């Protein structure tokens, strides 16, 4: 029988009446399984995030002139507190802030204040690349720089050169700024919380450009945030240039309130991150399957002719087939479902059974089959571009089946 420890918690709640306070004792039993098998984990999941927002930086980790700061402007009390957390990696400069950030404004001696287009304040730029890297060194954390996803690809590769190269135009600028040795920033992200094909192409082009400067870097991008899903096209277009994807989720409803939640409220949500990580892993595996189908060399079609995507979730299955033809008018969609095709040599009018199973009645039967499983078959034409056929069905049972 497994060993266990029973902890008796007594919580005293005071009920305030109009005249007296009456203490009430509430008891709860907590069972801790001391024989539970330890789970291996990567400590990088306990990473931190630093954005030019509120007092995270100015008045937080960086506060030149404060009696609590060292000679470089870092708050010693904050640094000591962060050291206790043993943060393995820190992502900077954003967050939403990064959409308006241009790294050249934050290096060198002559740093001019700029408008922060995201948070509506003036950014002094006194905390920039070198200050961030120095902060990470103080905390023994790996620096992780997030690029401006709206900036040009060259601006991204120039920043990598400034940080990591031993020679070149921007490496020379770094040396003139008083830093002869490379900063060796290994983790770089293209943009924050962005999606869509234009962004995916920016990820691809940014990954290529940054790795041409330093092939040893680890590239990341915005993969999933909030209620969004991972786009399989990300792996198809940019997968070979990526090492990580960034997954963002927020469990404490604190938007525009800026209140500090209590400890118990946070602990009640402690299982959410692990469940979210499992969800992300499942979506990555599904996206990889879809990409494998699209790039299947044994397919009679080239991926320029037709693409097939399979999205398998916990409760349903979606198959999307897209061609690259000239398509047709939306008003003609209804005619598709009048189409009936069979490979049977029998005359359908002679069949005495009402079942059409096994006779391959094309799209009408396919739609009927999908609806049987609480799904549907939809045909969506994009005139001049092609047609999408989308089948979605609900899963029945929990036994895996080979679907392609």
pLDDT at 361: 52
Give mean pLDDT, residues 147-162: 97
Length of the chain, please? 404
pLDDT at 370: 78
Alpha helices in 41-119 (DSSP H): 76-85
Residue-by-residue DSSP string for 185-223 = --EEEE-SS--SHHHHHHHHHHHHHHHHH-TT-EEEEEE
- Give the chain's mean pLDDT: 81
Give mean pLDDT, residues 147-176: 97
**Cα atoms in the 13 Å half-sphere on the side-chain side of 361:** 16
Domains of the chain: 4-33 (no CATH), 43-252+263-293 (3.20.20.80), 304-394 (3.30.565.10)
pLDDT at residue 114 tops 70? yes
Q: pLDDT digit string (tens) for 330-369?
A: 677 766 666 554 444 555 455 454 444 444 456 667 777 7
CB atoms within 10 A of CB 269: 11
Rounded Cα distance, 341 and 365, in Å = 10
Q: Which residues lie closer than 8 Å to 347 by C-beta, 6 or more apart?
A: none
Considering only residues 49 and 299, tell me which one the structure prediction assigns the higher pLDDT: 49
Its pTM stands at: 0.67
pLDDT band at 233 (very low <50, low <70, confident <90, very high): confident
């Amino acid at each position: 029988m497994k060993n266990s420890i029973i902890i008796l918690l007594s919580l005293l709640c005071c009920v305030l009446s109009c005249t007296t306070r009456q203490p009430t004792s509430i008891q709860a039993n907590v069972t801790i399984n001391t024989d539970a098998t330890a789970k291996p984990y990567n400590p990088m999941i306990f990473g931190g995030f630093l954005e030019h927002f509120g007092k995270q930086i100015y008045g937080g980790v960086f506060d030149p002139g404060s009696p609590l700061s060292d000679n470089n402007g870092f708050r010693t009390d904050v640094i000591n507190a962060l050291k206790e957390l043993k943060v393995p990696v820190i992502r900077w400069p954003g967050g939403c802030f990064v959409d308006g950030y241009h790294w050249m404004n934050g290096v060198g001696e002559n740093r001019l204040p700029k408008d922060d287009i995201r948070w509506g304040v003036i950014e002094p730029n006194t905390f920039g690349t070198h200050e961030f890297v120095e902060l990470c060194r103080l905390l023994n954390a790996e620096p992780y720089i997030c690029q401006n996803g709206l900036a040009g690809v060259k601006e991204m590769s120039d920043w990598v050169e400034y940080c990591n190269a031993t020679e070149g135009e921007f490496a020379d600028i770094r040396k003139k700024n008083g830093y002869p040795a490379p900063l060796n920033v290994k983790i770089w992200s293209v943009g924050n919380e962005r999606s869509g094909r234009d962004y995916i192409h920016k990820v691809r082009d940014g990954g290529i450009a940054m790795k041409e400067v330093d092939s040893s870097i680890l590239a990341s991008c915005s993969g999933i945030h909030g209620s969004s899903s991972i786009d399989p096209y990300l792996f198809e277009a940019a997968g070979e240039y990526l090492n990580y994807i960034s997954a963002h989720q927020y469990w404490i409803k604190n938007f525009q309130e800026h209140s500090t939640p209590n400890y118990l409220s946070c602990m009640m949500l402690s299982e959410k991150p692990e469940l979210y990580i499992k969800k992300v892993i499942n979506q990555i595996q599904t996206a990889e399957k879809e990409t494998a189908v699209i790039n299947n060399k044994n397919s009679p079609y080239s991926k320029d002719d037709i693409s097939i995507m399979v999205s398998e979730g916990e409760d349903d299955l979606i198959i999307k087939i897209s061609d690259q033809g000239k398509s047709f008018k939306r008003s003609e969609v209804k005619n598709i479902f009048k189409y009936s095709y069979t490979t049977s040599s029998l005359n359908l009018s002679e069949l005495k059974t009402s079942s059409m199973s096994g006779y391959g009645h094309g799209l009408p039967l396919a739609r009927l089959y999908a609806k049987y499983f609480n799904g549907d078959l939809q045909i969506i034409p994009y005139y001049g571009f092609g047609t999408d056929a989308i089948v979605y069905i609900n899963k029945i049972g929990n036994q895996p089946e080979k679907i392609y």
